Chain A
Amino acid sequence: MMEYQRMIARLQQFWIDYGCVMVQPYNSEVGAGTFNPNTFLRALGPEPWRVAYVEPSKRPKDGRYLENPNRVHQFLQYQVLLKPNPEDSQGLYLESLRAIGIKAEEHDIRFVEDDWESPTLGAAGLGWEVWLDGMEVSQFTYFQQVGGVRCQPVSVELTYGLLRLCMFIQGVNHVKDLLWGGGLTWGEVQGQFECEYSAFNFEHADIDLYRRFFDDREREARQLLEAGLVYPGYDAVIKCSHFFNVLEARGAISVTERTGYIARVRNLARLAATSYVQSRERLGFPLLKNQEPIR
């Protein structure tokens, strides 16, 4: 039986062998691996970049107190960003599935049109959702724009839904029954956390407090980014996005307000993106090393 942790380790090994830098999850709440600065910022500018990491993705609205077999508020994604995208990204992806025991010829694997857009990040890309016997297990995106900045060269982002993949491999029907490793299930490792956070997001989060958090961090983000501190500034942007997600799950944001909040985060994300490119330019785009800059 392929344990959850072993499946992750195999993916890590695969992408290390490919030549990615392997980083660790980001130390802040993110809704998806895309928010991690190792993707959001590094996708910008001319420097090449290959990175892979596990990202706990937190989506307060999706909590179900562990009652829904497939839906939890926090789950692990496996994130790969390759810039520029290799010529055979699809083949590479299929090889990575083989590394975790999924042989394409024994299944039906499809690349089904799914263009991706993040209004909060001012980002958009074209690609597919990958279907494994009808189940969406990964997202495959060629970034065209990030933080309002045109991507040149273009990166490909591969996002694996680790829970879905592993439930598929283990043939488990409820997330809590997934065998994590060390003799424990997902429910045993993560169950209490999941239930309490469902209650927190839907029932207990202090609306006034989180609104204040948002306002404070928004102000901080702007000050820091304007002062040229890209990473600390961008961290504040990530926080804003998370606080917004909590407020939304809590039912504290009307539809009209929602547009306003998203626009506020997007404006900050754009500022972070342009500040990042400028900061790298000032440093002479160090990762280009001896290469000619890519037009």
Chain B
Amino acid sequence: MSASLPSERLPFLLEIGSEEIPARFVPEAMVELERRLTEGLAAARLTAEGVRVVATPRRMALLCESLSTRQPDRETEVKGPPLSVAFGPDGQPTPAGLGFARKAGVDLADCARVGEGAGAYLVARRLEPGREAAAVLAELVPAVILAIPFRKVMRWGTHDLEYPRPLQWIVALLGGQVVDLCVGHLRSGRVTRGHRTLAANREVPLEGPGQYLSALKEAGVVVDQDERRRTIRDGLAACLAAEEPGGCLLADEDLIAEVVYLCEHPTPFLGSYGKQFAALPDEVVATALKAHQRYFSIVGADGRLLTRFASVRDGGTEHLANVIAGNERVLRARLADALFYWEFDQKQTPDQQTARLQAVTWLEGFGSVWDKTLRLAALVDWLWANGLGDGGPTPAPLARAARICKADLVSEMIKDGKEFTKLEGFIGARYAERAGESPEACRAIVRHYFPRTATGELPGDLFSSVLSIADRLDNLAGCWLAGFVPTGAKDLYALRRQVLAIMRIVLDLRRSLDLDAAVGFALGQVSACAPAADLEAARGQIGEFIQTRLAGYLAETAGRDPAVVRAVLPVRWRDPLAALAWSEALEGYRGRQDFQALATGFKRCRNILKGAVLADGERAGCFERWLEGGRGAGGEDFDALPEAAEKDLRRLAAAAAPGLRQAEAAGRQGEAFDLLSALGPAIDQYFEEVMVNAEDADLKRLRHAFVREIHGLFAKYADFGEVAPVE
């Protein structure tokens, strides 16, 4: 056995050269490269310190300050057969013994004998010499590169490789030595490439990893993304200070993050466009600037756009005037298009555009968007009359907004997925405004699309909120009947988010809405398109779907205790506001001792009844019966209950009933829980003193009826068993 060779540490560089990778892929890929390679090295017992990943559109590099050049040696141990199998009675090796040693790669004579007597067995111990890091890297690196999970990959040429764009070169250097490895047809080397235009894409040989960033900088490439980001920020600020001191850059973080990965050598500049586009809303101009050209907008002190824009060139300052003039021309052409749409669209009224929605399919087999607007109008009326309104008929601006809120889908500005499409709603409102529609209606046209994301801004005002809820209920009902029921990761129409939005809006409005009934109404409307659908089944499924989402929202976002939410939701899920209020109230009571007694008692009721509790329909009657002093659902007379503890509990429950009814009707949850908590000690007492399962069968039946009524009274408020202490 040889002594372990000394291991030294050397810097390591891996650079993956490619054609331009989509900017949005790069940050995720950098994280994956670092994670996968460092994990791979650790698994291979190679110590890597000071690892970082840098990237531009054309290259992604992992730099490691110090990497061990070989694995430590390792002693391996393989357990073999019992001695009685490995050796014959004569002490001579058997074929089994010899076979084991051969397979383990040692002489049988060198195998150790472990254990005593009949349990003794052979052990082969081997010193496995550590491998060179270069050999490990040659296997690890190609596997890691090709396993980086990109959102979309392609094939190219005749190669059997997949990457987001064609790979061009691989640099792999451990100290001054090339780590010889192959990624498909590409063999690693020490030659990288300079900036495509600043250095004519010239070959840049590297002596070692330490030289990487500086050698590339000399060749026009700023590989470090943080440095590029700084250059862009500082450069834009400097341009602004020099040319437009009153202006303020709309520092769009998403856009900066994207632009950082669209260039290898950023040089910021400012450009201008003419005043002839002043008729366009700022949002349209800003969208043209950002969505298509990746330009930054600049606003004046009044917050309005100046006719300037900021952008970044990939290259130096030479011939910058060309670049500025070119970009200005392009922008003018884009804005000219927008101005054409803006003027053309206004030749039609919102009603004329709405009529054209008859030709726009909403959901295959579920009619046109025009049909949808008719349903929205009816749904808005229903919501207004059933909890969301202020009484009286639907206000005219809300009814009007429901009818014309989708008109802009046929406008030139929005249709065909142009860059302005994400201004849907906003554009419709601007056109409506110019056609003389009321400000409230216009506001609802814009804001009925809110919230646009799971945590996005809510519609805010009442009309927009009602219309937003209506739109989402209609989507939910239609998509459900059309079979787009979310499963796992598949949720084509983002129904989870739509339900979440409905709940957020309702809670924001602080109004009660019976979601189950609302869903029922929405389903009824779309069922005209799906006559064969089982509406009751769909309503039940959607109810469960809503309940799950509401549970998640209350626990995760509203910060309510999950156990409390589980207790309250089965009773209150239909009305998110009530669900929140009762959860909050219950959370305040759950720690109290008398309340714990009540919760424990509740659980014991259910356990003793073995699930034979009052059905949903019988529960309301239970309340009436308590108001009259208490009797069983089957007419049982509780006067026959003999023990003091049950007489007490009965008296107290009956006495609490009227107060409970009042408190609930007035939404005074705390008071209701006060009343319920007051019953805690009596319940506790009851279970201590009363044998529910009495030997006398009649008495047992009677007590079960009694316990059922007690349980029923509480179950009206929550499933208290969920908040009971663990027994």
Q: Knowing A84-B157, A87-B157, say if A133 contacts B314 (CB, 8 Å).
A: no
Q: Does A99 contact B (CB under 8 A)?
A: no
Given A126-B152, A133-B322: A104 and B360 within 8 A (CB)? no
Specify the chain B residue showing the minimal Cβ separation from A94: B196
Q: CB-defined interface of B318-330 with A at 8 Å, one 1/0 digit per residue?
A: 1100110111011
Residue of A nearest to B58 (CB): A111
Q: Provide the A110-143 mask, 1 if CB < 8 A to any CB of B, else 0.
A: 1111010000000001101000111100000010
A154 proximal to B (CB < 8 A): yes
Residues of B within 8 A of A106 (CB): 318-319, 322
B196 partner residues in chain A, CB cutoff 8 A: 94, 104, 109
Are A255 and B359 closer than 8 Å at their CB atoms? yes
Most buried by B among A84, A110, A112: A110
Contacts of A110 in B (CB 8 A): 20, 262-263, 314
A279 at interface, CB cutoff 8 A = no
Residue B315 lies at the interface, judged by CB distance under 8 Å to chain A: yes
Measured between beta carbons, the chain A residues less than 8 angstroms from B198 are: 105
Q: Are A133 and B165 in contact (CB under 8 A)?
A: no
B154 interface residue per 8 A CB criterion: yes
Is B331's beta carbon under 8 Å from chain A? yes
Chain A residues with CB under 8 Å of B318's CB are 105-106
Does any Cβ of B come within 8 Å of A74's Cβ? no
- Given the complex, which residues of B lie within 8 Å of A133, measured CB to CB? 322-323, 325-327, 329-330
Interface size class of B (residues with CB under 8 A): 35 or more
Knowing A134-B327, A255-B360, say if A91 contacts B201 (CB, 8 Å): yes
In the bound complex, do residue A135 and residue B330 qualify as a contact, i.e. CB atoms below 8 Å apart?
yes
Is A107 in contact with B158, judged by CB distance below 8 angstroms?
A: no
Q: In the complex, are the beta carbons of B165 and A134 less than 8 A apart?
A: no
Task: Count chain A residues whose beta carbon lies closer than 8 angstroms to a beta carbon of B.
Answer: 42
A173-B329 Cα distance, complex, nearest whole Å: 8
Report chain A residues within 8 Å CB of B333.
69-70
Tell me the bound Cα distance from A153 to B157 in angstroms.
Answer: 5
* A68, CB-defined interface residue at 8 Å: yes
Q: Is B19 within 8 A of A90, CB to CB?
A: yes
B327 engages A142 (CB within 8 Å): no
A107 near B322 with CB under 8 A, answer: yes
Q: List B252-304 residues whose CB lies under 8 Å from chain A.
A: 262-263, 293
**Minimal beta-carbon separation of A117 from chain B (angstroms):** 12
Nearest Cβ on chain B to A241's Cβ, whole angstroms: 18
Q: Does B217 contact A (CB under 8 A)?
A: no
Query: Is B493 an interface residue, CB under 8 A from the partner?
Result: no
Is there contact, CB below 8 Å, between B359 and A254? yes
A275 to B337, CA, bound (A): 42
Q: Which of chain A's residues have a CB closer than 8 A to the CB of B200?
A: 105
Interchain CB contact under 8 A, B20 and A154: no
- Residues of B contacting A21 in the complex (Cβ-Cβ under 8 angstroms): none
Report yes or no: B359 in contact with A111, Cβ–Cβ below 8 A. no
B214 at interface, CB cutoff 8 A: no
Residue of A nearest to B24 (CB): A113
A196 interface hit (Cβ, 8 Å): no
Further pairs besides A105-B200, A108-B314, A134-B330: 17, Cβ < 8 Å: A68-B340, A69-B336, A70-B336, A84-B156, A108-B315, A109-B197, A109-B314, A110-B20, A126-B165, A128-B20, A132-B326, A133-B325, A134-B311, A134-B326, A135-B330, A151-B155, A154-B158
Ranked nearest first, the 3 interchain pairs of A and B with the lowest CB-CB distance are: A133-B326, A113-B22, A134-B327
A-B contact pairs, 24 of them (CB 8 A): A70-B333, A70-B336, A87-B166, A105-B197, A105-B198, A105-B319, A106-B322, A107-B323, A107-B326, A108-B314, A108-B315, A108-B326, A111-B19, A113-B24, A115-B152, A125-B154, A133-B325, A133-B326, A134-B326, A134-B331, A144-B154, A168-B329, A254-B359, A256-B361
